[in-house]
């Protein structure tokens, strides 16, 4: 067995509070393109244009244009969780992972069975009524079934907004994510280059306080120098790595 993999397993056995941070890399394995990846919309349309449209001010001023863009570029077909997501759910169930802080909006951790998930950028599977006294939540199917270009609340008639953080909005789970990361004994970062803030800042601050950082990622990250273990997934997959970790810990994963 790979010596780095064994070191990760030993760290997990000795940790009473392991927190996992996941980025786009764990979702690309499931078939969801990374914004910044080769097939991502930043490459296709240009980062400036995308950031202008998926902005809270643009949404408020041009909801019809926003939803036209959203339906074309964010309405992914039904995607099943990868084996990596199921492995993380099993690790949580067996007490090896306390919770997951994710940058992803695809809801796949929850679909795989993880219970303690902090989606810092929101959940694209939900839509929220913007009515001041309403705030009702709807699932994605309601949005897909809507005959209107801009979906409306069935209760009060107000506009629905995807329950994700748009540019210009505050991250409502900011403190939950920060508290979770800073209280960890062991932090495992999976599929993130650690360049997007505020999450990268949380991880960087964690490194100042402790050395128990593990990074599992394809290619380099901004904090490789701070990691106790850096495992590059080039030539393998996160699913294979996490499944092997489960096997070595005696967990019959999925």
In a domain, 132, yes or no: no
In a domain, 59, yes or no: no
How far apart are the C-alpha atoms of 119 and 19, rounded to whole Å?
A: 13
- The count of C-alpha atoms lying within 13 angstroms of the C-alpha of 136, restricted to the half-sphere facing its C-beta, is 13
Which residues define the annotated binding site for Zn(2+)?
A: 129, 134, 153, 156
Domain count along the chain: 1
Residue of 109, 121, 205, 225 marked active site: 121
In a domain, 163, yes or no: no
Q: Between 150 and 74, where is the model more confident? A: 150
Structural domain of residue 181, as residue ranges? 1-32+81-121+171-254
| Cα 197 versus chain centre, distance | 13
User: CATH number for the domain including 2?
Assistant: 3.40.50.1220
Percent of the chain's residues with pLDDT above 70: 92
In a domain, 184, yes or no: yes
Q: pLDDT digits over 139-193, tens only?
A: 998 988 887 889 999 999 999 999 999 999 888 788 899 999 999 999 999 998 8
In a domain, 47, yes or no: no
Report the pLDDT value the prediction gives residue 101, as an integer from 0 to 100. Answer: 97
Residue 45 has pLDDT above 70, yes or no: no
How far apart are the C-alpha atoms of 9 and 213, rounded to whole Å?
A: 13
Q: Nearest to residue 228, comparing CAs of 46, 14, 28?
A: 14
Catalytic site residue 121? yes
Q: pLDDT digits over 83-138, tens only?
A: 999 999 999 999 999 999 999 988 999 999 999 999 999 998 899 999 989 999 99
DSSP 138-170: EEHHHHHH--SSS-B-TTT-PBEEEEE--BTS-
In a domain, 236, yes or no: yes
């Amino acid at each position: 067995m790979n010596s780095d993999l064994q070191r990760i397993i030993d760290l997990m056995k000795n940790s009473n509070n392991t927190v996992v941070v996941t980025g786009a890399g764990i979702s690309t394995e499931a078939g969801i393109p990374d914004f910044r990846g080769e097939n991502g919309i930043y490459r296709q349309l240009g980062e400036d244009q995308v950031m202008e449209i998926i902005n809270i001010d643009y949404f408020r001023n041009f909801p019809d244009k926003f939803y036209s863009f959203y339906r074309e570029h964010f309405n992914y077909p039904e995607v099943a969780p990868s084996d990596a997501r199921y492995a993380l759910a099993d690790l949580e169930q067996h007490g090896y992972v306390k919770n997951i802080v994710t940058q992803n909006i695809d809801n796949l951790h929850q679909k795989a069975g993880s219970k303690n998930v902090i989606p810092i950028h929101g959940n694209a599977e939900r839509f929220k009524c913007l009515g001041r006294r309403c705030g009702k939540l709807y699932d994605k199917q309601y949005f897909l079934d809507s005959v209107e270009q801009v979906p409306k609340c069935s209760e009060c008639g107000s506009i629905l907004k995807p329950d994700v953080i748009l540019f210009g909005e505050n991250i409502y789970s900011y403190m939950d994510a920060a508290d979770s990361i800073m209280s960890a004994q062991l932090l495992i970062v999976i599929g993130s280059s650690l360049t997007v803030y505020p999450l990268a800042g949380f991880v960087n601050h964690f490194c100042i306080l402790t050395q128990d950082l593990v990074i599992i990622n394809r290619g380099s990250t901004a904090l490789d120098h701070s990691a106790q273990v850096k495992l590059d997934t080039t030539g393998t997959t996160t699913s294979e790595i996490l499944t092997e970790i489960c096997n070595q810990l005696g967990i019959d994963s999925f």
